Structure 1
Amino acid sequence: MKLLHALLITTILTTGAAAYAAGDHAGGHTSNAPAATSMSHDAMGHGGERMEVMAAQNMVKLALEPAAPLQAGKTTQVTVKLNAVADGKPLTLDDLKEAHTKKLHLLVVDPTLTDYHHIHPVAGEKPGEYVFDFTPLKNDTYRVWADVIPVATDKQEYVQTDMGTPAKEKASIDKATSMMATVDGYTFTLALDGEPKAGSPVMGNVTVTKDGQPFTGLEPVMGAFAHVVGFTEDYNSVLHVHPMGKEPTNDAERGGPKLEFHIEPEKAGFVKLFTQVRIGGKDIFAPFGITVK
C-alpha cells in the first residue's frame, strides 16, 4: 500500500473584473496579470524537494478566444494567448518551464464550483497561441487560471480570466458539507482530523475503494498518483495540493488507496475540493465540500 503525503499551497488571486478581448464576440476575455501569491518560498513539494517560488507580481498576460459562443454540451475550440506584460512578446513553449509534466496547465470552473476541468492546451499555429477543446456543462461564464512558470523569471504564476457569457440568473453555490463521492463506480472518502479553521493546520486524507475494497490501481497522472485542487466560495481563490512522498517512476507503477495531505486555509468560508486520479487511462474528478471556520 502506498501512502502519499501532500502539502497544501494556497494561492490567493485578487483581480478586478476581466476586460473583454478586443474584437472578440464569442465570450473571450483577457487578464492584465494582477499580483497574486501567498506561498512560502521554502514550501516543499514532490518528494520533499523545494517547491517553485511564486512570483510577487504576474509577468504573464492571458487572453481566451472561443471560436464560437460557449453552449452547454457543445464542444468549442478555444484559443489561449500568452504574452509578456512588459513588452507584449508572445510566450512560446520555449519560454515556459515544465511543472508536473506539462508547461501549461489551465484550471477551469463554473460559478457554481461544480464543473471543473484541468486542461493542457497544445501549441497553436502562431507563437504564443495554444488551443484546446472545451465542452461546458453550464450556460454561464467559466473562470480560468493559467498555471505557468516563465523561464525568464523562474517563478510560478497563476493568471486569471473568464470566458463565456454570464447566465441570466446568478449562479448559487451549494455549500453543503460533502465528505464522500462516488464516480464511475469508485468511492472517494474524505476524512479530516479536526475542524478546518482559517490559519490553523488540519490533516486530511482521501481513501479510494471499489465495491467496498481498498483500491490500489491508481495510475500516474502528471507525475503523481493524485492531485487535489480547491476553489473558495468567493470564486477568486485556488487551493492546490501537491502530493509528496515517492513519485511513480514509470507508467506501470500503481498507487492507492489513500492520499494524505496537510491543509492550512488562509480564510474562512466554503471550499470545494476536487481529487483528480487516473484509472484505466481515464481522469476521474471526485468532488468534496468543506467549510472553514
Structure 2
Amino acid sequence: MNAGARLTIYGIGVVVAFGGAFGLASAIVPPSVVSEWKEGAEMNSHDGGHDAATTAAEESANVAADSLKGLSLGLEGYVLSPVEAPGAVATSGELQFQILDAAGTPVTDYTTAHDKDLHLIVVRSDGSLFRHVHPTLDESTGMWSLPWEWTEAGTYRVFADFTPAGTDAPSLTLTRTVQVAGEFTPVAPQPTQTAQVGDFTVSLDGDLTAGTAKDLTLTVTRDGKPVTALEPYLGAFGHLVALRDGDLAYLHVHAKGEEPEVGETSGPEIEFAAEAPTAGRYFLYLDFQVDGQVHTAEFVVDAASGDDAAVSDGDSHDDGH
C-alpha cells in the first residue's frame, strides 16, 4: 500500500472514530450534553469563517492604503527610478533620478502644479530633517538633479510629486527609500502645535479626525507681532505637507482661498483643509515666505478616530443640557 493510500485511510479512520464517539456518547450521556458537544465542534469548524472575515477586513484596509499617496514607487504606469545620492554624511554630491513611463522611457514633459513641474520631498523615517526642494530637469535625458549633502545618517524617504503632461493625466506622488550610512538616534516626536523658526512663531489651531475634512489655521507672528507680509509661495501664502507616522503616507491638504496675485501679501493667518485617512500621529510641515526667504515650521498632531470624535461631540452636547 502506498503512503498516499495509508494517509487517506488514516484520515477516514479519524473521522469514523470521532463520529463513533459521538454515537456511543449518545447511548451513555444524556442527549442534551451530546448536543452541546456537537454544537461546540461545529463552532470550532466555523473558525475559518472568522479568519475569512478578518482577511476581508485586512484586504479592505489594503485597498484603502492603495488609494493613499506616497506609498509606492510606481503608479498609473509611471515609475520613480532608483535614487542616486551620496551614501554617507558630509559627502557632497548630487541627488538624481528619473520618472519613467510604462515603456521605460524617461518622462520629459510635465504639467506645472503649484508653480513647479516637480516637487521633491525628502524626510527621515522618524519625521525629522524635512526638506522640500525643486530639482532641475535635463530634458535631453529626463534626469532630475540637484546638489546634495546629508547632515545625518538614517533611512530616508524621497517623494517625487508631479503631474505628467497630457489631458486627464494623474497627479502622482511616488517614493523611494535611501539609506545613509552611519549611526544615528531616532527622534521620538511628541504632539506640538507651536513651532519656533528663527524669529518667527507659528501656531496651529485645529485638529484632525479620521475620514473627516477639517480646517487648520496657522498663524505667523514675529517677536509677538502678527506677520502681515507673507508672500506668495508655490501658488499660495503657504504650502503644507502632511505625512502619517509609521508609513509616511500623504494626506490630502489643500490651501483655502484664491491663488494670490504677484506682489500681493497676506497674514498672519494661513488656512488649509486636511483629511486624515486614519487615526494616529501625523507630521505637518508648513513652508511660508517672508522677504524672499522660505521658512519651514514643523508640527506633530494626533488624529482622532471618527468614533472618538462622535463620542466627544455627544459628550459636549450632554454637558449643554
Normalising by the residue count of structure 2, what TM-score does the alignment of the two structures yield?
Answer: 0.68
**C-alpha separation between the residues in 2 aligned to 1:207 and 1:239?**
21
Query: Is 2:307 the partner of 1:292?
Result: no
* Match in the other structure for 2:221: 209
Change (3 A) 1:202 1:244: closer
Query: Is 2:103 the partner of 1:87?
Result: yes
Given that 1:228 and 1:273 are in contact with CA atoms closer than 8 Å, whether structure 2 keeps it comes out as yes
Q: 1:235 aligns with which of 247, 251, 258?
A: 247
CA RMSD of aligned residues (A): 2.2
**C-alpha separation between the residues in 2 aligned to 1:248 and 1:282?**
17
- % identity of equivalent residues: 28
CA-to-partner distance for each residue in 1:245-280, whole Å, 9 max, x for gaps?
A: 122211x22111001222221111110101100112
Q: 2:178 aligns with which of 156, 163, 186?
A: 163
Q: 1:260 aligns with which of 265, 271, 288?
A: 271
Q: 1:99 aligns with which of 91, 94, 113?
A: 113
* Match in the other structure for 1:186: 200
SS in 1 for 2:211: coil
What is the letter of the counterpart of residue 198 of structure 1? A
Work out which structure has the larger RCO, using CA pairs closer than 8 Å and 6 or more positions apart in sequence.
1
**C-alpha separation between the residues in 2 aligned to 1:81 and 1:275?**
27
* Match in the other structure for 1:6: none
Query: Is 2:261 the partner of 1:249?
Result: yes
What is the correspondence of 1:26-45 to structure 2 with a 5 Å cutoff? 31=73, 33-34=74-75
Aligned residues: 237
Change (3 A) 1:14 1:125: closer
* Match in the other structure for 2:29: none
What is the letter of the counterpart of residue 121 of structure 2? L
Change (3 A) 1:202 1:123: closer
CA-to-partner distance for each residue in 1:182-201, whole Å, 9 max, x for gaps?
A: 10100000011xx5321233
CA positional deviation for 1:168: 5.1
CA-to-partner distance for each residue in 1:169-208, whole Å, 9 max, x for gaps?
A: 6x6452311010110100000011xx53212333221100
CA positional deviation for 1:74: 4.5
Q: 2:71 aligns with which of 1, 14, 26?
A: 14
**C-alpha separation between the residues in 2 aligned to 1:255 and 1:247?**
12
Q: 1:61 aligns with which of 56, 75, 80?
A: 80
Given that 2:88 and 2:181 are in contact with CA atoms closer than 8 Å, whether structure 1 keeps it comes out as no
Structure with larger Rg: 2
SS in 1 for 2:111: coil
Change (3 A) 1:173 1:270: farther
- Structure 2 regions of 5+ residues with no counterpart? 1-66, 305-321
What is the letter of the counterpart of residue 153 of structure 2? N
What is the letter of the counterpart of residue 281 of structure 1? G
Moved over 4 A (4+): 166-169
- Structure 1 regions of 5+ residues with no counterpart? 1-9, 16-30, 35-56
Given that 1:276 and 1:284 are in contact with CA atoms closer than 8 Å, whether structure 2 keeps it comes out as yes
**C-alpha separation between the residues in 2 aligned to 1:90 and 1:101?**
22
SS in 2 for 1:89: coil
Given that 1:218 and 1:225 are in contact with CA atoms closer than 8 Å, whether structure 2 keeps it comes out as yes
Greater shift, 219-228 or 124-133, is seen at 124-133
**C-alpha separation between the residues in 1 aligned to 2:293 and 2:92?**
19
Normalising by the residue count of structure 1, what TM-score does the alignment of the two structures yield?
Answer: 0.74
CA-to-partner distance for each residue in 1:143-187, whole Å, 9 max, x for gaps?
A: 011111112452111111122336556x64523110101101000
Higher helix proportion: 2
